[in-house]
Amino acid sequence: MKKKIAALMILAGACLAYSPKAHAQATSKPPSASDSQTATDQDIQLLRQDIRSKRKQLIAANLKLTDAEATKFWPVYDQYTADLAKINDQKVALIKEYASQWGTITDEQASSLIKRALAVDEQIAQLRIKYLPIFSQVVPGKTVATFFQYDRRLQSIIDLQLASQIPVVQDQQ
């Protein structure tokens, strides 16, 4: 149990490495806007790869699969995470857009950002619904339910860490 908690904390801590608040402050005086943006994009990409890798390790360490189940489960998992990464590309783009507008965001921009953020949340829920029967074809129902519990827990931790680092819109004034 301590091993699981420690691993979750490591994953959550990794999310702190990219803070839109810090990004907004850092980009207010960049040495070169294009150099700063490129470095930030590379950092974000590396962080996201690391998070995906740690997620997979945590799932592997905690999901009880037979060898036969694992052979069928992991290819589906890899496709699921690839599809999830595409959706999360939108989330990252929204966070970067918000950071770039920090301090000057209008009511219309704020409304647009929150509508698109909610649409991303909906896409993630739809992806889980899409993959439920696919996972159910390769592993038993309890295993599918356990996987989605871990998946949602990990995503909740990441989302909480991100949310704690994103400044509130009204604080920009």
Q: Please write the tens of the pLDDT for every residue from 87-130.
A: 999 998 898 888 888 888 899 998 999 999 999 999 999 999 99
Residues 64 and 13 sit within 8 Å (Cβ to Cβ):
no
Q: Tell me, what's the pLDDT at 72?
A: 97
Q: Label residue 58 by pLDDT band (50, 70, 90).
A: very high
Please tell me the distance from the alpha carbon of residue 141 to that of residue 14, in angstroms, as a whole number.
Answer: 31
Question: What's the pTM?
Answer: 0.74
Residue 85: HSE in the Cβ half-sphere, 13 Å Cα cutoff: 17
**66-92: average pLDDT:** 95
The continuous run of DSSP H or E covering 20 comes out as helix 20-26
At 27-45, the pLDDT tens digits run 443 334 444 455 577 776 7
Q: What is the amino acid identity at position 88?
A: N
Domain limits, the chain: 66-164
